[in-house]
Amino acid sequence: MKPKEPDSRYVFATYPICRACGSANIKATRGAKDVGEGVRERPSKCHDCGQLLTVVLEPSKDYA
Ligand SMILES: [Zn+2]
């Protein structure tokens, strides 16, 4: 049976890139925290250059 809305299965997200070296090899470090309005901050570190980063996760605006 064919689903009525096949596109509803696809959820698009971007992945974080290191601001210092452009690497996508980023690992979360300590615990994430909610900063309100569905936004989450995740302390992270670039595995390639060691840059400390804060990855900010925002809710997708696709679902309205
Ligand atoms: Zn880096």
pLDDT tens per residue across span 4-63: 666 788 888 889 999 999 999 999 998 999 999 999 999 999 999 999 999 999 988 776
> What is the reported pTM?
0.75
What does the pLDDT read at residue 28? 94
Give distance in angstroms: CA of 55 to centre of ligand 1. 13
Give distance in angstroms: CA of 4 to centre of ligand 1. 43
Give distance in angstroms: CA of 14 to centre of ligand 1. 17
What does the pLDDT read at residue 7? 76
| CA atoms of 51 and 42, how far apart (whole Å) | 14
What does the pLDDT read at residue 8? 81
What does the pLDDT read at residue 2? 56
The residue assigned the tokens 């309205």 is 64
Domain-wise residue ranges, the chain: 20-64
